[in-house]
């Protein structure tokens, strides 16, 4: 048996401008020491950062931030744009794609103020790169297609090379391989023509992944070997890592397993040097595949287990599932059918979760997009009405001026006309103000409806999945257990078979219990039947029993239930706050209080943990806090946070009911 196609293929993407050049570090540092705090020093900071970004990304970010500070002091707009362009490239390498998108969108605004078409196009291209990393491929393709005519007009072959390269990768992602090959081959051709080694490395690796996907494996291997040679020549360690992993994947598809050990050992060393945890997990799994295909199950299992543990530590869900798949196959090789069943079940469960999450995310995005487009059209219609009112006002002003000049001798008529004009003008201005207020209200409503669609979709899908798991799969497993139990009394088994039969029943019991726990977490039955207070009491008790920390729960004035949808949202907020305390606070005790008084529900969560600087939340915060904030805004609530280092954290939320 051969284990194939379990390596996640990784690819590279280029920055847009300015292109990276190789400089002598000593010369740059000497030039910096002799420079003045002017625009030349800004460029030196950028050049220094570029020398470190592929091997020491944190050092590169520090240099780019120095360039930003000096550019802001000097009012040097081009330097500010150069900061955004270069630092987002490093953030993309580090996997911080949301941060990169926010910075790139800001750079487009600054570039538009500068009014330079080349800079605007480059910044739009960087936005496309962020969308690509965030897997919003259609948006990314749209951005790249917008900038091609501009770069063709400017005859900027480097940026055209990068654009073609990224378009090839995007069309590969949406399975349009003919277009992917067309753009990828154009990119390689341009990179060779302009003699840019870093651009050529990216183009070769990305084109190789398309060849590999189409089954043209020999061409893929040739491209990757050339890319590896270039990476060593220019000391591009990150590119060398990606090329090596892709090369190993190509050999796996050809069932050529002998070279795998050397490739994956090299990838492990590079991943450790660069701090690339995902690549390290992939390389460990690759070593397991190598030993599996060389009939060494013990070594294969050791590497697969290491890959699984690192994937769990870094919360890499898809890689956890792949590790379980490899372990299931190794168990068959060892004739360990019990573990094969356990690992296969876990792998299938993770795969189903990922598929369901993808479906839910797509549905929510479509709903939010529909509502946004509908509100945007309403706003556009109101703006057009406002413009018509302004035109009418201008025309009437002109008519009044003509009448005033013609009937100057008739003072009374002129005064009357003027009074009429002033009144009409005031009325039209008031109508215009009302229209502007309506526009702002619709914009606010648009944001609220988008949040509502997302939250509603999440909770409905959680409830549906919980019901399907509990009623469907849970009932099926219970039926299997009942059947096996009845069989036991009617079948004569020897001692070993009876022991194996009992262990199977125990495994089935554990599976049923785990299924019920998952279904309960997705939509607690006690919340639906008995309300928020009882649900929170049960949840806090389960957290305390888990040993993470001690939770003290208090409920005041919660005898009467509130709206069910609000109860679900408040329950999710408390879940997320306790999750944050568990992950970040290092607390031993947590107080959770829910109180209802004077038409408001107050939620309080206090811990004795490490605390944090609350100004970090003003800069964006993590995905957990973003989820909490959106739910509070949807319920029109208020939040107050008190925290400092070593003093614990107190979060107080007030929601009108």
Residue 420 has pLDDT above 70, yes or no: no
CB 319 within 8 A of CB 45: no
| Closest by Cα among 151, 93, 103, 161 to 127 | 103
Burial-class residue 123 by CB neighbours within 10 Å (0-12, 13-18, 19+).
Answer: buried
Model confidence at 97, in pLDDT bands (50, 70, 90)? confident
Residues 564-591: tens digit of each pLDDT: 778 888 888 888 888 888 778 788 899 9
Span of 206-210, 482-486, 530-534, 613-617 with lowest mean pLDDT:
482-486
Model confidence at 364, in pLDDT bands (50, 70, 90)? very low
Residue 9 has pLDDT above 70, yes or no: no
Beta bridge partners of 596: 601
Beta bridge partners of 590: 551, 607
Residues 381-413: tens digit of each pLDDT: 555 665 666 666 666 776 676 776 667 767 776
Question: What is residue 20's predicted lDDT score, i.e. its pLDDT?
Answer: 44
Phi, psi dihedral angles at 647 (to 5 degrees)? -110, 5
Using CA atoms in the order 90, 94, 95, 96, what is the torsion angle rounded to 10 degrees? -70
Q: Which residue has the higher pLDDT, 324 or 375?
A: 324
| Average pLDDT value for residue range 23-50 | 77
Residue 93 has pLDDT above 50, yes or no: yes
Q: Which residue has the higher pLDDT, 377 or 625?
A: 625
CA 65 from centre of chain: 24
User: DSSP character for 468?
Assistant: I
Question: What is residue 362's predicted lDDT score, i.e. its pLDDT?
Answer: 47
Rounded to two decimals, what is the model's pTM?
A: 0.48
What is the C-alpha to C-alpha distance for residues 312 and 324, in angstroms, rounded to an integer? 11
Residue 417: CB atoms within 10 A of its CB come to 16
What is the C-alpha to C-alpha distance for residues 232 and 239, in angstroms, rounded to an integer? 9
Residues 222-262: tens digit of each pLDDT: 999 999 999 999 999 989 999 999 999 999 988 888 999 99
Distance of CA 486 to CAs 323, 480, 482, 497, Å? 36, 10, 6, 16
**Prior bond to 18 cis, omega within 30?**
yes
| Average pLDDT value for residue range 77-84 | 85
Residue 376 has pLDDT above 50, yes or no: no
N-terminal to C-terminal alpha carbon distance within the chain: 62
What is the C-alpha to C-alpha distance for residues 555 and 595, in angstroms, rounded to an integer? 6
Question: What is residue 8's predicted lDDT score, i.e. its pLDDT?
Answer: 45
CB 317 within 8 A of CB 350: yes
CA atoms within 13 A on the CB side of 385: 16
Q: In this structure, what token pair is assigned to residue 572?
A: 């999710």
Span of 221-235, 337-351, 439-453 with lowest mean pLDDT:
439-453
Model confidence at 365, in pLDDT bands (50, 70, 90)? very low
| Closest by Cα among 567, 573, 577 to 530 | 567
The SS3 assignment for 174 reads coil
What is the C-alpha to C-alpha distance for residues 311 and 317, in angstroms, rounded to an integer? 7
| Average pLDDT value for residue range 127-152 | 89
Alpha helices in 256-336 (DSSP H): 260-274, 277-293, 297-313, 317-333
Q: Which residues, including other chains, have CB under 8 Å from residue 141's CB and lie 6 or more apart?
A: 128, 167, 170, 171
Residue 145: CB atoms within 10 A of its CB come to 12
Classify strands 550-556 and 589-597 as parallel, antiparallel or unpaired. Answer: parallel
């Amino acid at each position: 048996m051969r284990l194939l196609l379990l390596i996640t293929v990784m690819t590279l993407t280029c920055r847009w401008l300015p292109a990276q050049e190789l400089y002598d570090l000593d010369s740059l540092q000497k030039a910096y020491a002799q420079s003045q705090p002017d625009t030349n020093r800004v460029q030196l900071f950028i050049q220094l950062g570029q020398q470190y970004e592929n091997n020491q990304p944190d050092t590169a970010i520090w240099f780019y931030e120095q360039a930003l500070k000096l550019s802001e002091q000097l009012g040097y707009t081009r330097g500010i744009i150069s900061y955004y362009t270069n630092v987002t490239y490093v953030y993309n390498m580090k996997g911080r794609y949301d941060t990169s998108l926010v910075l790139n969108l800001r750079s487009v605004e600054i570039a538009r103020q500068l009014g330079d078409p080349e800079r605007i196009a480059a910044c739009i291209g960087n936005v496309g790169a962020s969308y690509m990393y965030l897997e919003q491929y259609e948006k990314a393709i749209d951005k790249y297609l917008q900038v091609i005519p501009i770069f063709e007009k400017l005859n900027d072959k480097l940026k055209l090379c990068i654009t073609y390269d990224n378009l090839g990768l995007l069309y590969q992602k949406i399975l349009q391989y003919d277009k992917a090959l067309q753009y990828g081959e154009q990119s390689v051709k341009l990179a060779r023509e302009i003699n840019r080694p870093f651009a050529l490395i990216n183009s070769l690796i990305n084109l190789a992944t398309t060849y590999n996907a189409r089954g043209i494996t020999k061409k893929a291997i040739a491209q990757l070997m050339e890319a590896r040679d270039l990476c060593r020549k220019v000391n591009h360690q990150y590119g060398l890592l990606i090329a090596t992993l892709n090369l190993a994947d190509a050999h796996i598809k050809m069932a050529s397993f002998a070279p795998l050990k050397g490739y994956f050992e090299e990838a492990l060393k590079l991943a450790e040097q660069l701090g690339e945890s995902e690549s390290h997990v992939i390389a460990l799994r690759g070593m397991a595949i190598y030993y599996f295909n060389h009939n060494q199950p013990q070594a294969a299992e050791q590497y697969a287990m290491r890959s699984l543990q690192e994937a769990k530590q870094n919360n890499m869900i898809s890689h956890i599932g792949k590790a379980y798949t490899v372990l299931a196959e190794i168990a068959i090789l060892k004739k360990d059918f019990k573990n094969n069943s356990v690992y296969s079940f876990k792998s299938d469960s993770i795969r189903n979760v990922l598929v369901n999450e993808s479906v839910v995310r797509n549905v929510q995005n479509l709903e939010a997009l529909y509502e946004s487009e509908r509100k945007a059209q309403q706003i556009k219609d109101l703006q057009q009405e406002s413009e018509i009112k302004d035109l009418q006002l201008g025309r009437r002003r002109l008519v009044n001026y003509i009448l005033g000049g013609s009937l100057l001798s008739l003072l009374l008529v002129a005064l009357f006309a003027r009074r009429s004009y002033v009144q009409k003008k005031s009325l039209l201005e008031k109508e215009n103000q009302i229209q502007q207020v309506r526009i702002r209200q619709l914009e606010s409503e648009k944001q609220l409806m988008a949040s509502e669609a997302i939250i509603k979709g999440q909770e409905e899908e959680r409830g549906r999945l919980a019901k399907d798991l509990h009623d469907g799969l849970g009932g099926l497993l219970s039926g299997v257990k009942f059947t096996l139990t009845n069989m036991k009394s009617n079948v004569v088994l020897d001692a070993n078979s009876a022991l194996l039969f009992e262990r199977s029943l125990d495994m089935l019991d554990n599976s049923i219990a785990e299924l019920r726990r998952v279904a309960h977490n997705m939509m607690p039955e006690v919340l639906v039947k008995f309300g928020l207070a009882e649900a929170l009491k049960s949840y806090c008790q389960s957290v305390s029993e888990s040993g993470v920390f001690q939770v003290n729960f208090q409920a005041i004035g919660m005898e009467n239930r509130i709206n069910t949808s609000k109860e679900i949202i408040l329950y999710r907020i408390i879940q997320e706050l306790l999750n944050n305390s568990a992950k970040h606070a290092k607390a031993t005790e947590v107080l959770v209080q829910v109180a209802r008084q004077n038409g408001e529900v107050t939620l309080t969560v206090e811990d004795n943990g490490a605390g944090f600087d609350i100004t970090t939340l003003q800069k964006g915060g993590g995905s957990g806090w973003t989820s909490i904030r959106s739910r509070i805004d949807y319920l029109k609530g208020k939040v107050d946070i008190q925290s400092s280092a070593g003093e614990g954290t107190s979060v107080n939320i007030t929601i009108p009911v």
